[in-house]
Amino acid sequence: MTALAVEHLDAHHGQLHAVRDVSFTVRSGGRLVLIGANGAGKTTLLRAIAGAHPASGGRVLLGDADVTALPANRRAALGVALVPEGRRLFADMTVEENLLLGRMTGRKGTWNVERVLETFPNLRPRFKARAGDLSGGEQQATAIGRALMGNPDVLLLDELSLGLSPLVVDRVYESLDALMHSGTTIVLVEQDLSRALAVADMVVCMLEGRVVLESPAADVSREQVTEAYFGLRRESGAMEAVS
């Protein structure tokens, strides 16, 4: 069963065509990783799926429902949650208060404060602390927990490892391991190629707003992803740039 379908999606930033005719599907419970260099259009694509950035063409479907024209709050109520790049917490509010904001979608489900704290135990002693006083890893855990409090069917994670040390990133991913196999559909933007291939069952690589590679993770090599990432192709054993 398809949880999310993106069909010929376009999005602009003024005159900049940031997302160009992008199409892919994610099965229910699937884990799709978006890879691409800075400026490839990954963040704009996630925001367009979540309704935080307008699409200028194409469609976004949740299951069979076309949500392209719906605002972000309506999509959240239908089960889409975005953990944005840079976390974007309310710095003067506590961890508890930030988490409770996630319940505003009104969706029922198994995610509650206690389950978030079980998933991210580093938040328990910081529960009453201001979000602005947290470490980067604690802020990332809070941002993910806030999204999970809305009991989403589709979770969009943008640059989990951005600005975090490798050790902290390891801890975040260790905490997320159960979530990755919980049945929640996940679309993840990740720059760390090894980590991306380890958690994904589908890989999509973007270049200059377009999808240049889409493959099951088990069927693609690191070299193929790297070639797509840099816009290269093999020609008679040599590498050539794709114009």
Query: How sure is the predictor about 173, in pLDDT bands with cuts at 50, 70 and 90?
Result: confident
Residue 243 has pLDDT above 60, yes or no: no
The total of structural domains in the chain comes to 1
What is the rounded average pLDDT of the residues 8-20? 97
Average pLDDT taken over every residue of the chain: 90
Which residue did the predictor score with more confidence, 205 or 242?
A: 205
Q: DSSP labels for 23-70? A: EEEEETT-EEEEE--TTSSHHHHHHHHHTSS--SEEEEEETTEE-TTS
| 108-135 pLDDT, tens digit each | 999 999 999 999 999 999 999 999 999 9
Q: What sign has the CA pseudo-torsion 4, 7, 13, 17?
A: positive
Local structure of 218: helix, strand or coil: helix
Question: Residue 222 belongs to what domain range?
Answer: 2-241
* Per-residue pLDDT, 235: 43
* Per-residue pLDDT, 29: 93
* Chain Cα centroid distance, residue 126: 25
* Per-residue pLDDT, 112: 95
Residue 206 has pLDDT above 60, yes or no: yes
Output the six-digit token pair for 229.
Answer: 């990432």
Query: How sure is the predictor about 237, in pLDDT bands with cuts at 50, 70 and 90?
Result: very low
Residue 33, CA distances (Å) to 39, 76, 113, 214 in order: 16, 21, 27, 10
What is the rounded average pLDDT of the residues 210-224? 94
* Per-residue pLDDT, 236: 38
Q: Residue 77: CB partners within 8 Å, gap ≥ 6? A: 105, 106, 107
| 16-48 pLDDT, tens digit each | 999 999 999 999 999 999 999 999 999 999 999
What is the rounded average pLDDT of the residues 167-174? 82
Which residue did the predictor score with more confidence, 229 or 21?
A: 21
| 228: CATH | 3.40.50.300
| 55-105 pLDDT, tens digit each | 999 999 999 999 999 999 999 999 999 998 877 899 999 999 999 999 999
Query: How sure is the predictor about 233, in pLDDT bands with cuts at 50, 70 and 90?
Result: low
CB 241 within 8 A of CB 231: yes
